[in-house]
């Protein structure tokens, strides 16, 4: 425009929306869940869950991990955790980053590659208290057992691999448990050193003064040995376990062997050797 014409205002656009501006759903009754479900509709959920389960099955076939089938309820729980943690403004994460079980100054004194280095030092305060509590609040029944247990972890140098365990990677624990209830009464953590079958390592688990006498211990063939049985017998602890024939102390005689085709099925033979009984 020139100065003679003056300024002219542009014509306003005619506003003709395809629908009434604002929410297109009933706002008289709603919740955070119903709003979420508007965008994550049943068809979207079905696609997400079906594809997630298909991908999990593919990874399972590749032997990467075990995963249960995802359900609608599982998905909602997962999304709730994701949304909640993204909105969390407390100092929770700083607590997690600084969480420490042992004295930091004493940690520095526990130097690696030294004779007195303790690989469990950082968890010792909690470890010791938990074991004490286990024993304070339960007294085992007569039948007890020693077994191995895995605690999942891949981040520590003490991790072990057990191909036959449901949890294949992690800390290996040696557990003394009550056979009637499965209650863990005592345990120690495998640190990479060999565990002997002479009874020295197992005696740590048994803690005879706290446990009492007259118990019967059940063990597998890794621990079964004449040395251990003698040690337990002297402490008035019975013991039962599978033994390998090549173990030191196993009776080297064929006089009482069963024939290879023993009849009837399930037949057995008993061999007495002092206070011990060998069943073949």
Q: What is the pLDDT of residue 2?
A: 56
Q: What is the pLDDT of residue 264?
A: 63
Residues in the chain, total: 280
pLDDT, mean over the chain: 76
pLDDT at 218 over 80: yes
Cα–Cα distance, 134 to 183 (Å, whole number): 9
Q: Find where tokens 């557990």 sit.
A: 175
What predicted TM-score, i.e. pTM, was given to this entire model? 0.57
Q: What is the pLDDT of residue 277?
A: 57
Ordered structural domains, the chain, with CATH? 32-87 (no CATH), 117-279 (3.30.420)
Q: In this predicted model, which residue has the larger pLDDT, 197 or 188?
A: 188
Residue-wise pLDDT for 7-43, tens only, equals 677 788 887 888 788 788 888 888 888 888 888 888 8
Q: In this predicted model, which residue has the larger pLDDT, 170 or 268?
A: 170
CA dihedral over 64, 67, 71, 77, signed as positive or negative: negative
Q: In this predicted model, which residue has the larger pLDDT, 56 or 167?
A: 56
Q: What is the pLDDT of residue 78?
A: 92
Nearest to 227 by CA among 202, 207, 256, 194: 202
Q: Find where tokens 């019975």 sit.
A: 238
């Amino acid at each position: 425009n020139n100065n003679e014409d003056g300024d002219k205002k542009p014509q306003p656009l005619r506003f003709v929306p395809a629908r009434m501006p604002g929410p297109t759903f009933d706002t008289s009754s709603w919740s955070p869940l119903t709003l979420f479900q508007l965008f994550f509709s049943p068809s979207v959920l079905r696609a997400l869950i079906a594809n997630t389960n298909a991908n999990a099955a593919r990874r399972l076939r590749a032997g990467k991990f075990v995963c249960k089938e995802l359900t609608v309820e599982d998905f909602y729980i997962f999304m709730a955790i994701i949304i909640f943690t993204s909105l969390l403004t407390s100092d929770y994460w700083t607590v997690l980053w600084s969480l420490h079980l042992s004295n930091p100054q004493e940690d520095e004194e526990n130097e690696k590659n030294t004779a007195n280095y303790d690989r469990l030092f950082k968890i010792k305060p909690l470890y010791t208290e938990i074991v004490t509590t286990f024993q304070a609040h339960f007294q085992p029944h007569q039948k007890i057992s020693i077994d191995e247990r895995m605690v999942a972890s891949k981040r520590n140098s003490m991790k072990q691999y057990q191909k036959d365990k449901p949890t294949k990677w992690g800390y290996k624990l040696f557990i003394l448990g009550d056979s009637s209830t499965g209650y863990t009464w005592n345990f120690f953590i495998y640190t990479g050193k060999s565990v002997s079958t002479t009874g020295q390592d197992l005696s740590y688990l048994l803690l005879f003064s706290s446990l009492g006498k007259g118990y019967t211990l059940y063990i597998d063939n890794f621990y079964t040995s004449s040395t251990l049985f003698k040690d337990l017998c002297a402490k008035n602890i019975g013991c039962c376990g599978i033994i390998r024939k090549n173990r030191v102390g196993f009776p080297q005689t064929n006089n009482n062997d069963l024939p290879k085709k023993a009849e009837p099925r399930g037949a057995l033979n008993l061999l007495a050797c002092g206070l011990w009984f060998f069943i073949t």
